[in-house]
Amino acid sequence: MTRRAPLDPYLAGVALGLVLLGSFVLSGRGLGASGAFASVAAHVAASSSATGLDDNAYVQAYLADGGFAADWLVFEVLGVLAGGALSAFAGGRWQLRVTRGASVHRGPRLLFAFAGGAVMGIGAMLARGCTSGQALSGGALLSAGSWLFMLAVFAAGYAIAPLLRRLWS
């Protein structure tokens, strides 16, 4: 199958916006991603701790509605994985690979990806959401905290990018 170029970003953005609007109308909530990881992590933490972390309000909030198998966001992220795979296959873009800058080896690239993921996890926990739950969904709802989060993400990204130039050159 020939590899097709990505869709025009504005067209894809309108499609993404309609998905978000559909989620608001049909489910009363926006999109999310980091929350699914938080939910699974909270369950693993509780079940691996002798006390069950029953005095930990953050963990207990995730355990309250019947476990991650009942968590909306876990199903949504399973859908994202399926949709991403489906779309990549259909476009001829599915390929085992490690995407990286030309001057970075595979090992360091994977380490940076893991470390970046861990730092984003902490950031998303503090912010109560990530680029999906806060920036996109909270942004469209005109939440003050979501716009503050979005501005902080871009500000820190642009501030740190020159120091990490080698990663992406």
Partner 1 sequence: MSDAPALALLIGVAFGIALEQAGMGDARKLAGQFYLRDFTVFKLMFSAIVTAMLGGFWLAQAGLIDPALIAMPETFWLPQLVGGLLFGLGFVCSGLCPGTACVAAASGSGDGLATMLGLFAGLLGCAFGYRWIEPWYNGTALGPLSLMQVFGVRQGVIVFVIVATALAAFALLERMERHR
CA 162/CA 142 separation, integer angstroms: 31
Distances (CA, A) of 117 to 58, 122, 130, 159: 20, 9, 12, 18
Could you say which DSSP state residue 2 is in?
A: P
Query: In the complex with partner 1, which residue's Cβ is closer, 2 or 95?
Result: 95
| CB 47 to partner 1: min, Å | 11
| CB 85 to partner 1: min, Å | 4
Residue 129 CB coordination number (10 Å):
26
| CB 55 to partner 1: min, Å | 8
| CB 65 to partner 1: min, Å | 10
CA 59/CA 165 separation, integer angstroms: 37
Give the CA-trace dihedral at 90, 91, 94, 95, to 10 degrees: 150
